[in-house]
Structure 1
Amino acid sequence: MHAWPASEVPALPGSGRDLRIHDTATGGRVTLAPGPVARIYVCGITPYDATHMGHAATYNAFDLVQRVWLDTKRQVHYVQNVTDIDDPLLERAVRDGEDWTALAERETVLFREDMTALRMLPPRHYIGAVESIPKIVPLVERLRDAGAAYELEGDIYFSVAADPSFGSVSGLDAEAMRLLSAERGGDPDRPGKKNPLDPMLWMAARPGEPSWDGASLGPGRPGWHIECVAIALEHLGMGFDVQGGGSDLVFPHHEMGASHAQALTGEHPFAKSYVHAGMVALDGEKMSKSKGNLVFVSALRRQGTDPAAIRLALLAHHYRADWEWTDAVLSEAEERLARWRAAVSRPDGPSAEALVEEVREALADDLDAPRALAAIDRWAAAQTADGGTDPAAPGLVSRAADALLGVAL
């Protein structure tokens, strides 16, 4: 599976700051100081109802992480998956009377187009669950043979007891985990499980559903969490710098994935830090596929909305905040974009070197994009009110907005 084309990232004078970011596992700030190559895995979409604004907000957050790292002159090894086989995808295909593979392919193409329009930097490896099955099967077999997994009516479950550090990503108690498991695709009430929280690694073939050769596991298809583990271990190895996604992935997905990997390798941690983006709401409720209250990037683009304005609307909210999409949010972003473009279109302006450093510092401080926007707002206001005499300033501001925020002026 291929990703989308990369937009050019302008070079800026000087160098960026090491990123200080909130780590879910510790509940506090950590300073990320990767080696020459920073490693990040961000969980991708299940390809139906793409790309809604909640998706866009999440990938915007981790695009900023990449841009901060690139500004420190590091390379970035970014990996993202596509869960192109899963119960919700099959259910949607049945509902709409569509072949599930056609649905997945169409929505993945749309997602790529939206990411390109929003100037999101692409992953080095963009990998589907289906193409990863030959890598997944041996991992499930290893877990089973090591006693970290067991069979139940043909299905294979992971035993959370196999990982002594289980629970260290989310910090939740057993009852909270059980409730979230039931809400987010688990089956805590299934009889015969050793622990209600044990997640499925391999689902035995069901009548009328797709399945693949599972070698000694029998025909079937992979569970959700082992998919990301197989892809991350293959391309990043243990101890990569950031595991990212929306806050709804803290449990069970990221908790279970960490335990799978740690039980497989005997090493800890799976990721050095766990970073999660907030949820986006519409009309007072979280945007979700089940509620159908989705605002789509592609629909806004078809209406003629400038993708740079969509991006500014996302950047106006701190990545960890839960916030609500409204017409006013988009209108404010469009007005900001017009002000910025007018300001950088002049032949000269107020000096901008200090502004670049202010934007760098804001982003290094837990990706404080709203503070970065406010800094450019002040420069644009000064440009409008008083102008300036530095002919290099407008170009520098334009390059900084593009390089650090992904906003093309």
Structure 2
Amino acid sequence: MTTIKLHNTKTRKKEVFTPIDPENVRMYVCGPTVYDRAHIGNARPVVVFDVLYRLLRHVYGADHVTYVRNFTDVDDKINARAKESGREIGEITAETTQWYLDDMRALGAMDPNEMPRATAYIPQMIAMIEKLIADDFAYAKDGHVLFRVRAYKHYGALSGRSVDDMIAGARVEVAPYKEDPMDFVLWKPSSDDLPGWDSPWGRGRPGWHIECSAMAKDLLGETFDIHGGGNDLQFPHHENEVAQSCCASGHAEDGGGFANYWLHNEMLQVEGKKMSKSLGNFFTVHDLLEQGIPGEVIRFVFLSTHYRKPMDWTAKKAAEAEKTLSRWAAMALDGSVGEPPSDVVQALADDLNTPLALAAMHALYKNGDADGLRSALELLGLGELDFGQAVKGMVYRMDDMVLGPLEVLLAETRAKAMETKDFSEVDRLKAALVAAGVEVRMSKAGVELLPAAGFDPAKLEGLL
């Protein structure tokens, strides 16, 4: 069996992955708060953990992996969106949840086995909070319930911070109902105009952190294999999940239980800068898809950078990705799906080294291994979405990236030939283009190249 190694945030080192039960490998990844479209930064963890999901399914079997990714559908951002738009909360969350699913599927992401909504797990959250209060890890005051951070001696172990350093360096809410500034909310009161549920502490709604703990426990058990998300969630969200979950399950002293392996992906930039609406470089996944950038191209750009390194989205990378995928598609469409090549699998098994996997696929293309390339594309999620049509469509969209520069070259060569009266180079270029399935149109107005039936961009290599 393939040995998988993963960098565990919990231990700060790469470790051999040993599941609790190889017959039931379990993974939880924090999902979106559904109030708007997902931006491309939101999509990075989806692609990262989709690759891990695919690898686990390949190694342990599709029926032996359980992947849970939640939807937060009760949140102050959702309440604010409802208030400003005048729409019902349920209508907003249903719409944005479907947007999210559609956009992530367009990136080749498989649906997880379970996609729980927070509002469906309120009783489980209340039960966990009651247990924490009973064991003195939480307290109720003024309609709020808060977790006693200092009651859990391992707090800060995941993020590598001490409580005192956190207080000195962080913005923490000072409130009269808190015993300590670091204590975080498990339950808060709701006014009549906000969503709320009856509880032992009055009508209210859960804090953000308790949601994932309750859903993970209900669907995966008190202890499971992998917990993932973006590194922006490492503190405070994941730190708080660990604290409340360990204390609720009787592991307050040893700090054990909950997730054995923690994986965090780095953040994303756009053209070398932090994504910001004020800078005009803020893109949703839907924006890119609407611009005609195929989901496979977006996914390929993500996979070109290791998940633990910052990623820079650029137009140049997207163009290069489309060019590469189009070349691969021209070959792989004639291939059949079988066992993926071992060097591709081994690259992924080495802490999801997707750049190394793509390098191995470049070698498959160079060596003309259509079956291996097609199988590797399927494993990496670049062949799930109607491969024949979606990727073939990219082949016929190469005008701007491949044929455009060749139009310029042919026009310049033709202009020189008009002066020297030597058209041999023009004829050579034209013959090569025609052989690659390109229709060549030359007139007084200029040169125009159009992809025709049988267009194969791979045959154009070396002309520029």
Tell me the TM-score range normalised by the shorter chain: 0.7 to 0.9
1:309 maps to 297
Q: Aligned match of 2:342 in 357, 362, 372?
A: 357
**CA shift in 2, pair 1:283/1:380, >3 Å:** closer
1:397 maps to 373
**What are the superposed Cα offsets for residues 281-307 of structure 1, whole Å, 9 maximum, x if unpaired?**
125443478988532222222232221
Asked if 1:140 is matched to 2:129, the reply is yes
- Offset, 1:188: 3.1
1:53 maps to 40
2:52 and 2:168 mapped to 1: Cα distance? 32
**CA shift in 2, pair 1:290/1:144, >3 Å:** farther
Matches within 5 A, 1:6-17: 17=2
**CA shift in 2, pair 1:333/1:137, >3 Å:** same
1:240 and 1:252 mapped to 2: Cα distance? 20
1:234 maps to 218
Contact 1:203 1:222 in 2 (8 A): yes
TM-align CA RMSD:
2.4
**CA shift in 2, pair 1:406/1:163, >3 Å:** farther
1:271 and 1:332 mapped to 2: Cα distance? 38
Partner SS, residue 105 of structure 2: helix
Asked if 1:276 is matched to 2:261, the reply is no
Contact 1:225 1:256 in 2 (8 A): yes
Asked if 1:149 is matched to 2:133, the reply is no
Code of the aligned partner of 1:212: W
- The TM-score with structure 1 as length reference comes to 0.85
1:224 maps to 208
Matches within 5 A, 1:4-403: 17-34=2-19, 35-74=22-61, 75-174=64-163, 176-178=165-167, 182=171, 187-214=172-199, 216-267=200-251, 268-287=256-275, 293-345=281-333, 356-383=341-368, 393-403=369-379
Contact 2:275 2:281 in 1 (8 A): yes
- Offset, 1:404: 3.6
Structure of greater Rg: 2
**What are the superposed Cα offsets for residues 260-318 of structure 1, whole Å, 9 maximum, x if unpaired?**
11111113231001100111112544347898853222222223222111111111111
1:38 and 1:159 mapped to 2: Cα distance? 32
- Offset, 1:375: 1.2
Code of the aligned partner of 2:267: M
**CA shift in 2, pair 1:282/1:23, >3 Å:** same
Contact 2:328 2:373 in 1 (8 A): no
- Offset, 1:89: 2.0
**What are the superposed Cα offsets for residues 200-247 of structure 1, whole Å, 9 maximum, x if unpaired?**
000112353221112x12100000111000000001112211110000
Code of the aligned partner of 1:403: L
Taking only the aligned residue pairs, the percentage that are identical comes to 35
1:394 and 1:269 mapped to 2: Cα distance? 45
2:393 maps to none
Contact 2:155 2:162 in 1 (8 A): no
2:120 and 2:146 mapped to 1: Cα distance? 22
1:325 and 1:179 mapped to 2: Cα distance? 34
**CA shift in 2, pair 1:347/1:363, >3 Å:** closer
**CA shift in 2, pair 1:406/1:344, >3 Å:** closer
**What are the superposed Cα offsets for residues 167-188 of structure 1, whole Å, 9 maximum, x if unpaired?**
1111113355347763xxxx43
Contact 1:312 1:407 in 2 (8 A): no
Aligned residues: 376
Partner SS, residue 274 of structure 1: strand
Partner SS, residue 282 of structure 2: coil
1:3 maps to none
2:374 and 2:287 mapped to 1: Cα distance? 27
Partner SS, residue 108 of structure 2: coil
Contact 1:23 1:30 in 2 (8 A): yes
**What are the superposed Cα offsets for residues 28-76 of structure 1, whole Å, 9 maximum, x if unpaired?**
1111121222100000000123322112110111111111111113321
Partner SS, residue 73 of structure 2: coil
2:222 and 2:382 mapped to 1: Cα distance? 30
**CA shift in 2, pair 1:85/1:137, >3 Å:** same
Code of the aligned partner of 1:52: H
**CA shift in 2, pair 1:256/1:204, >3 Å:** same
2:80 and 2:279 mapped to 1: Cα distance? 15
Contact 1:188 1:198 in 2 (8 A): no
**CA shift in 2, pair 1:289/1:58, >3 Å:** farther
**CA shift in 2, pair 1:290/1:55, >3 Å:** farther
